């Protein structure tokens, strides 16, 4: 793995931040001022292919990148805030229903985050 690839992998893997390609680019640029966007996109793509990171497609914002360690996501329906949560692994359950062959799954649970819930209760939001 090249220097850039390694740092990009580390940035994604050691962060809770669910960064976009742009944010990763800006972060990497702090240490490697010469790096260019395409490099970051290229590396993110190959890291995904190799299964070292994963891409999250989130409605209404650019793709985000995430570590692999098994976990699920909570998404606020109203403000889009994204956070990690780990539910019990349900691969077994799903395989019982569809048969073998699951590679992995992606579970997003939509809710109202504490901030938005509060606002809603105060009647600030519909």
Partner DNA sequence: CCTTGTTTTTAGAATTATTCTAATTATAAT
Partner DNA sequence: ATTATAATTAGAATAATTCTAAAAACAAGG
| Residues found near its own copies in the complex (CB under 8 A) | 55, 57-59, 63, 74, 77, 85, 87-88, 90, 93-94, 97-98, 101-112, 117
Of 14-22, 69-77, 79-87, 110-118, the window that binds DNA (rule: CB under 7 A) is 14-22
| CA triple 112-24-58, angle to 5 deg | 35
Distance, in Å, from the CA atom of 65 to the CA atom of 17, rounded to the nearest integer, reads 9
Query: What are the φ and ψ backbone dihedral angles of 50, each rounded to 5 degrees?
Result: -75, -5
Query: Quick one: what does residue 121 bind among DNA, its own copies, none, with the CB cut-off 5 to 8 Å set by partner type?
Result: none
Please report the sign of the dihedral spanned by the C-alpha atoms of residue 66, residue 69, residue 73, residue 79: negative
Measured from the CB of residue 125, what is the shortest distance to DNA in angstroms? 17
Given candidates 11, 12, 19, 21, which one binds DNA under the rule CB under 7 A?
A: 21
Given candidates 42, 67, 81, 111, which one binds DNA under the rule CB under 7 A?
A: 42
Say if CB 94 and CB 102 are below 8 A apart.
Answer: yes
Given candidates 26, 45, 92, 115, which one binds DNA under the rule CB under 7 A?
A: 45
Distance, in Å, from the CA atom of 121 to the CA atom of 116, rounded to the nearest integer, reads 9
40 SS3 class: helix
Query: Quick one: what does residue 36 bind among its own copies, DNA, none, with the CB cut-off 5 to 8 Å set by partner type?
Result: DNA
Q: Pull the structure tokens for residue 30.
A: 């702090």
Interface with DNA (CB under 7 A): 2-5, 20-22, 32, 34-39, 41-43, 45-46, 60-63
């Amino acid at each position: 793995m090249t220097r850039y690839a390694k740092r990009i992998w580390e940035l994604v893997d050691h962060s809770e931040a669910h960064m976009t390609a742009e944010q990763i680019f800006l972060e990497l640029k702090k240490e490697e001022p010469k790096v260019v966007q395409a490099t970051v996109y290229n590396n993110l793509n190959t890291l995904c292919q190799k299964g070292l990171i994963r891409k999250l497609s989130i409605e209404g914002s650019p793709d985000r990148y995430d570590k692999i360690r098994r976990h699920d996501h909570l998404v606020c329906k109203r403000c889009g805030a994204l956070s990690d949560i780990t539910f019990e692994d349900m691969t077994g359950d799903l395989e019982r229903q569809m048969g073998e062959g699951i590679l992995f799954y992606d579970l997003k649970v939509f809710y109202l985050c504490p901030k938005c819930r509060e606002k809603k209760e105060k009647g600030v939001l519909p």
